[in-house]
Amino acid sequence: MSGVLIALKNKDFYRSYSGLSSNKMLAETLVSTIKEQLKDEDLQGNKVGRLMENYSFIKSRPSLIHKNKDKKKQKV
C-alpha cells in the first residue's frame, strides 16, 4: 500500500498507470517509480536500497503480474 502511495506522488506515473498494457508492465513501472521517488527524497546511506528490498516482491509475485482469470470471466 505505501509503495502505491509513494508512486502516485509522481505526476507521470499518476497520469499513465491506468493505460499500461499489462500487469507485468504496471508492476515494473510501479517499482521503478517508487525507487525514483525515494531517491528524490535524498535519503542518507543505503536507505533507498533497504526500502526497495521491501518492494521488490511486486515484480515477481505471480498474483500481481498475471491477469486474474476470474475477473476476465466476470466481464464476459
pLDDT tens sequence across 11-68 = 999 999 899 888 888 999 999 999 999 999 888 889 999 999 888 888 887 777 776 5
Classify each residue of 16-47 as buried b or exposed e, where b means 16 or more C-beta atoms within 10 Å of its C-beta.
ebeeeeeeeebbebbbebbbebbeeeeeeeee
pTM of the model: 0.76
pLDDT of residue 74 exceeding 60 = no
Q: Are 34 and 52 in contact (CB under 8 A)?
A: yes
Element (H, E) at 30: helix 23-40
Measured CA to CA, the distance from residue 24 to residue 30 in angstroms comes to 10
In degrees, to the nearest 5, what angle opens at C-alpha 56 toward C-alphas 49 and 24?
A: 140
Per-residue cell: 6: 509513494
